[in-house]
Structure 1
Amino acid sequence: MNPTKGLVAIYKMQGCGNDFVFIDNREYNVPVSHMSEWAQKICRRAFGVGADGLVFLENSDEPALDYRWHFYNADGSRAEMCGNASRCAAKLAVEIGLAGPVHTFGTDAGPIRAEFCDDGEIKVELTPPQGLELNKPITLKDGDDEIHFVNTGVPHAVYVAEDASALNVKELGALVRYHDVFAPAGTNANFMSIIDRENVHLRTYERGVEDETFACGTGAVAGVVVANALGLTGTDVRVKSSGGEILSISIEGNSVFLKGKALVIYSGNAVLESLGLTLD
């Protein structure tokens, strides 16, 4: 194996427990037609690098964008948006010289504006929430119930529970994710408890990961949008994730902001032969 051709530089990052692998695709030019396969093999835990998603960063031909990304879930499905990955992307883009500390990048959901904050956290302005539906009838495991829905770049159902920590999120999340009322695309499923008007606890079953994750940025935004619309919270809310970390959500008119930590865990080289991948 050619040691140069057979290695691809990767960055492993995490935002509130959501972990991702990033590739600077300016160097490798992996075609879009191959990206799904790369995501499935690189994100596979134990046999690959292991991650919730794989992100390719590359130059954009749109003057208003500093760069664009291609985001894939661990199962190889392409996603329009991911809130925690967007904060990681913004941090990495600055570190590898792709953009400055305040910049805009392109996603399938639309442009995302990002900035470094004085406390070291990353703040992103997501695309405006779409399609808010409150008190949507749904039949779950224990019979008829109500659920809420909003698209915050990707579709999210939100279930308000007295104690989200007591729920079997993997079981209930799968029921919601594949429920007929959200067919054919399916939805992410969030389970939220209201602590007070400034704090909520939220757990998310993510479409494409097909399990509960430690956090979900667009899910946290969806939860706060729903809670605020129901009159349960204000417009500045701290969301405690399954991993115990905090995401800060702010609603300002039609704009919604997500703020939190984004960390590079390590950088290194992936051996493509071991993953069953090539650059050819």
Structure 2
Amino acid sequence: MEIHFTKMNGAGNDFVVIDNRSGIYDDLTKEQIERLCDRHRGVGADGMLAIEQPVEGSSSQYRFRYYNADGGEAEMCGNGARCFARFARNLTTEFEDEISFDTIAGPLVATFPGEDVCIDMSDPFDIESDIELSLSGTPQTVHFMNTGVPHVVLPVADVTAVDIVAVGRELRFHEHFAPAGTNANIHHVIENGHIRLRTYERGVEGETLACGTGVVANALVHHQLTGAASPIAVDVQGGDTLKVEFEKDADGNYRNVKLIGPADFVFDGTISI
């Protein structure tokens, strides 16, 4: 099969993007997607994005599909959603200021402030604070929430001093989060309202340069722990700084969560798989 694709990245989190509005790529297998994302035998990416027609009865303009580098479909990807929105905006002049699309995690809306893309994220849920776990025999306090996909957050003194792959893998497969597992994050505080983040992504099974849903989870955990006001700045491993805006209602629930950051085109191409 010949695949026409666009390579994009959001803060270093990179994706193969395909236009599947015609349904021509509906029969792509898990193994073919995995090969597309392979950095030695394919295009190379943290995941694949497919833009499709909206589901029947939806008021959205498009449907968002996201597949991790292992070929498995995931509910959402924040950096991927920004790239998806910028790609979709380039397909037509009809939706210049705002684009809406359906995801497994729920409908999302994207706007385009300046050079960045802003995603109106779904409300986080399954929030657990102060979970006591044993990591390599040492007690640790972690925090958890689902920001479209599950994330566990471990605040540390210095993210550069931690083996993110070892710690991330232990958290990702910890029995507390079985059977589905979780994405794993560590962050340290630069100053109130500004943190530095590293993420081990489920499905990639390694560290990525950025993770949008992880940025949101860590920003909100930072707010929980410190009371830092919106917006919160998050430095990611790829070198960019993303912003997370949010509100908190009278019942303590997070609402109107927005993820703001770059989404860049890299190149277009064709590959046979």
What TM-score results when the alignment is normalised by the length of structure 2?
0.93
For 1:40, the aligned partner's letter is E
Specify the alignment match of 1:7 in structure 2.
2
Please state if 1:42 is matched with 2:42: no
For residues 137-148 of structure 1, the aligned pairs below 5 Å read 137-148=132-143
Of the three residues 171, 174, 186, the one matched with 1:176 is 171
Quick one: which of 75, 86, 92 aligns to 1:80? 75
- Cα distance in 1 for partners of 2:133, 2:263 equals 36
**What is the rounded CA distance, in whole Å, between the counterparts of 1:241 and 1:85 in structure 2?**
15
Greater CA drift, 138-147 or 83-92 = 138-147
Report the alpha carbon displacement of residue 8 of structure 1 after superposing the two structures with TM. Answer: 2.3
Deviation string 1:24-67 (CA, Å, 9 cap, x unpaired) is 00245222x53423321100111011000011111113341110
Aligned residue for 2:45? 51
Determine which of 172, 194, 202 is the counterpart of 1:199: 194
- CA–CA distance in 2 between the matches of 1:233 and 1:166? 24
RMSD: 1.4
1:177-230 per-residue CA deviation (whole Å, 9 max, x = no partner) reads 000000000000000101111210010000000000001100010001111112
| Aligned residues of 1:164 and 1:191 also touching (Cα < 8 A) | yes
- The aligned counterpart of 1:266 is 267
Match of 2:90 in 1: 95
| Matched-pair identity in % | 39
Alignment match, 1:105: 101
Name the aligned partner's letter for residue 267 of structure 1.
D
Equivalent residues in 2 for 1:107-126, closer than 5 Å: 107-117=103-113, 119-126=114-121
Indicate if the aligned counterparts of 2:143 and 2:153 stay in contact, CA closer than 8 A: yes
Establish whether residue 238 from structure 1 lines up as the match of residue 239 from structure 2. Answer: no
Alignment correspondent of 2:61: 66
Q: 1:107 to 1:170 in 2, by over 3 A?
A: same
Structure 1: stretches of 5+ with no match in the other structure: 1-5, 276-280
Give structure 2 stretches of 5+ with no counterpart: 249-254
CA distance in 2, matches of 1:15, 1:35: 25
Question: Counterparts of 1:79 and 1:194 in 2: how far apart (Å)?
Answer: 29
- Corresponding residue number in structure 2 for 1:223: 218
1:41 is paired with a residue whose SS is helix
Instruction: Give per-residue Cα distances to partners, 1:53-87, cap 9 Å, x unaligned.
Output: 01111111334111002110000111100000000
Of stretches 256-265 and 90-99 in structure 1, the one that deviates more from structure 2 is 90-99
In terms of mean alpha carbon deviation, does 63-72 or 97-106 score higher?
Answer: 97-106
Instruction: Tell me by how many angstroms 1:99 deviates.
Output: 4.2
Q: Is the 8 A contact 2:23 2:52 kept in 1?
A: no
Q: Which moved more, 1:233-242 or 1:184-193?
A: 233-242
Q: CA deviation at 1:142?
A: 4.5
TM-score, length-scaled by structure 1: 0.91
| Partner residue in 2 for 1:278 | none
- Measure how far apart 1:231 and its partner are: 2.2
CA contact (8 A) 1:152 1:221 kept: yes
**Which residue does the alignment assign to 1:21?**
16
User: Size of the alignment, in residue pairs?
Assistant: 265
Once superposed, which parts of structure 1, at least 4 consecutive aligned residues long, lie more than 3 Å away?
none
SS in 2 for 1:230: helix
Mean alpha-carbon deviation: is it higher for 37-46 or for 67-76? 37-46
